[in-house]
Amino acid sequence: MTEKQKIVLASNNPGKVREINALLEDISLNIRSQSEFNVPEVEETGLSFVENALIKARNAASHTGNATIADDSGIEILALNGKPGIYSARFAGVGATDEANLYKLIEEIKPLDEKNRQARFVCLMVFLRHADDPTPIIAQGIWDGVVITEPRGENGFGYDPIFYVPTHDCTSAELPPETKNQLSHRGQALRSLITQINEM
Ligand code: IMP
């Protein structure tokens, strides 16, 4: 791949776009947001993170004619059999705010024993050379933590205020953005994806 080739980032989630752009700051790829191209939202009909990431990447590639990067991510609570998982962004209903999703999850974890609150953030990130690319590049990141019922911290987005990170004794919303990017599911997946793209 040439350095100048345009790659479209298939996300309209401002929290995600902010983190991904920060992670891509030092990378010599020409990354552009799909909002510049008026790419319409696509329904996430997949039953797994990777299927939904591919749906979003393919949608952006077919509307722009460019290579694309997309991620699908969410939080999984072990004791809730992985809920909300791929439904994290619409846990409180389609179009729900981050806050509504957060408080719905808090209500679901309140009955759980404190010892049973293990959680993880999952991110699947894909790269498509074009809409019909039969060999997408795929990377995964997983970040383990524990959920709490009292939100803490102002950074990040989504479920960050209730995702307690034992190694740092704070929630991911209390971590400086650079530290979150070093540790996070999204940071892990994106670094792995970029390594694979550079090897192309
Ligand atoms: P997606 O845009 O369909 O991938 O939905 C991802 C959803 O998962 C977001 O709307 C958040 O609710 C949640 N999520 C994913 N990554 C994070 C994170 O880093 N912090 C907090 N919430 C996250």
SS (H, E, C) 117-160: CEEEEEEEEEEECCCCCCCCEEEEEEEEEEECCCCCCCCCCCCH
Residue 26 known to be catalytic: no
Structure tokens at 175: 């971590």
First to last CA, the chain: 7
Cis link prior to 14 (omega < 30° from 0)? no
* Alpha helices in the chain, H assignment, sequence order: 14-23, 49-64, 98-109, 177-183, 185-199
For residues 76 and 28, which has the higher predicted lDDT (pLDDT)?
76
Q: How far is the CA of 105 from the centre of ligand 1 (A)?
A: 13
Q: How far is the CA of 2 from the centre of ligand 1 (A)?
A: 31
Instruction: State yes or no: pLDDT of 67 exceeds 90.
Output: yes
74 lines ligand 1 (CB under 6 A): yes
What is the domain partition of the chain in residue ranges? 6-199
pLDDT at 1: 52
d(CA 9, CA 24): 11
Segment 144-170 shows an average pLDDT of 98
Q: Classify burial at 169, counting beta carbons within 10 Å of its beta carbon; exposed 0-12, middle 13-18, buried 19 or more.
A: exposed
Reported as a single tens digit per residue, the pLDDT across 92-146 is 999 999 999 999 999 999 999 989 999 999 999 999 999 999 999 999 999 999 9
What letter represents residue 31's amino acid? I
Q: Residue 4's pLDDT band (boundaries 50, 70, 90)? A: low
d(CA 190, CA 175): 19
Q: What is the CA radius of gyration of the chain?
A: 17
CATH class assigned to 6-199: alpha beta
The residue annotated as part of the active site, out of 72, 98, 113, 160, is 72
pLDDT at 18: 83
160 lines ligand 1 (CB under 6 A): yes
Instruction: State yes or no: pLDDT of 196 exceeds 70.
Output: yes
Q: Which of 53, 150, 165, 47 is nearest to 103 (CA)?
A: 150
Structure tokens at 47: 């039953």
